[in-house]
Amino acid sequence: MSHPQAMLGQFAQEIDLKETEIGVLREAAARTKLNIAFNLAALVYGVEMEALSDRRRVCRRVTEARQVAMYLAHVTFQVSFEEIGDFVNRNRGTVRYGIERVEDRRENPVFDALIDSLEGLMAWLMSGPVVDVIANGVQVDFDAGDYFEDDWPKSVRVSL
């Protein structure tokens, strides 16, 4: 193999490696965004994170928390339906339905305020280095008023 061909082969290998690295980084970024959205929804709704990907029938609180997390991941972070579905063991149609349910419920002003607060918090978390968030902390207060049922938390305080 002549010298230019060897250089071309090496260059092609480097491009393949860089594309693989970019793919790995994109996947890691999507998983980080999904973890933020789903952990935040689990915290706000007072459910276990693992319950959000459980395939068994669950209570309405878990279902709503999952739908809110899917909505936040898609709308705030532009994570695809497929990536969200893979994260919670659902197909893209189920993800789309969950997101549509949240969009429909946003007509309720209290629910809309909750979603606005969560979107703002997520945008803020992603706007600066995570180290700053950990060092400085953040606290979000939200009064759910009459939106939640009696056994659900009426007020949410998120501290990171």
Q: Is the pLDDT of residue 2 over 80?
A: no
Q: Which range has highest mean pLDDT (34-38, 78-82, 134-138, 156-160)?
A: 78-82
E-strand stretches of the chain: 139-143, 155-159
Q: Domain coordinates of the chain in residue numbers?
A: 3-120
Q: Which pLDDT tens digit goes with each residue over 29-38?
A: 778 888 889 9
pLDDT band with cut points at 50, 70 and 90 for residue 21: low
**pLDDT for residue 32:** 83
Q: Is the pLDDT of residue 129 over 60?
A: no
CATH architecture of 3-120: Orthogonal Bundle (1.10)
Report the candidate in 20, 41, 16, 12 with the shortest Cα–Cα distance to residue 114: 41
Q: Which pLDDT tens digit goes with each residue over 61-115?
A: 999 999 999 999 999 889 999 999 999 999 999 999 999 999 999 999 989 989 9
CB 70 within 8 A of CB 41: no
Percent of the chain with pLDDT over 70: 63
